[in-house]
Amino acid sequence: MKDYATISLDIEDDIAVLRLNRPDKMNALNTVMRAEVADAVNAAGRIARVLVLTGNGKAFCAGQDLGDAGSAAALDLERVLREEYLPMLRAIGECPIPTIAAVNGAAAGAGANLALSADVVIAAEGAYFMQAFTRIGLMPDAGGTYWLPRQIGAAKAMGAALFAEPISARDAAGWGMIWEAVPDMEFDAHWRARAGHLASGPTESYRHLKTAIRSSWDNSHDIQLDLEARLQGACGQTRDFKEGVVAFLDKRTAQFEGR
């Protein structure tokens, strides 16, 4: 695999594990890391069947590295968001395989929203999420103003953004911000089992359902029904569908081929 400076990417048993690897900086995002994450996500989407994004060390991601480019005041935030964050977040959003954010620790600011951009978020119970932006005179970015109201509703999204208080993994799961919170001692084994389940599943089905769900926010009911029909028609032409039906009738576990 390609060597990276700020992340690592390992692929085994069709599972790609992308680790943010600046533990001394709580995996804060700098220019190099954003470019490397985008590159690794695109690579994983071509050769793996599921992608897991997690952090090395005690934190998942502390958000923007405010020491990047010398000082926070030197950052052209609009340029950074358009030219560096957007390609990274778009790569995750458009990744053709299921993506899991395995949040092992603190996920703050853009780090929290990086996690929320994944298809599924699994967090250790000791982890937390924080929209820390107003603490330094900013507003949520990196997709936060898109995901939060859709996942937890306007009232909680506004409170999370305004007060910038930590949200425990348990609360995040209870609110619908993430899929599940897992006891710390079980966390690694649990997300690996979840990833293994998806890696053995019907890849084309997953790709089409991701498209349908992510498109639904912008579609009318009629347009969404039309999209469902088209994508389901494509699913119905796959060998995985035929295998799924035969396995169901034979009362056995389906053996999906994926790609």
Band of the pLDDT at 73, cuts 50, 70, 90? low
**Structural domain includes residue 42:** yes
Same domain, yes or no: 76 and 41? yes
CATH number at residue 233: 1.10.12
Residue 257 located in a structural domain: no
Structure tokens at 241: 């569908």
Record the tokens describing residue 207, joined without a space. Answer: 């790709």
Asked whether residue 28 is domain-assigned, the answer is: yes
Q: Do 139 and 226 have their domain in common?
A: no
Within a domain: residue 17? yes
Confidence tier at 72 by pLDDT (50, 70, 90): low
CA–CA distance, 132 with 161 (Å, rounded to integer): 8
Q: What confidence score (pLDDT) does residue 67 get? A: 81
Domain limits for position 230? 203-250
Residue 3 pLDDT greater than 70, yes or no: yes
Q: How many domains does the chain have?
A: 2
**150 within a domain of the structure (yes/no):** yes
pLDDT digits (tens, 9 = 90+) for 109-129: 999 999 999 999 999 999 999
The residue ranges of DSSP E strands in 29-143, in sequence order, are 50-55, 99-103, 107-108, 120-124, 128-130
Give the separation between CA 25 and CA 245, rounded to whole angstroms.
Answer: 50
Nearest 10 degrees: Cα torsion 111, 164, 139, 150: 70
Let me know if residue 259 belongs to a domain: no
Q: Looking at the structure, tell me whether residues 91 and 167 fall in a common domain.
A: yes
pLDDT tens figures, 76-102: 889 999 999 999 999 999 999 999 999
142 and 86 housed in the same domain = yes
pLDDT digits (tens, 9 = 90+) for 176-230: 999 999 999 999 999 999 999 999 999 999 999 999 999 999 999 999 999 999 9
Whether residue 33 sits in one domain with residue 161: yes
Same domain, 94 and 185: yes
**Residue 117 located in a structural domain:** yes
- Is residue 92 assigned to a domain? yes
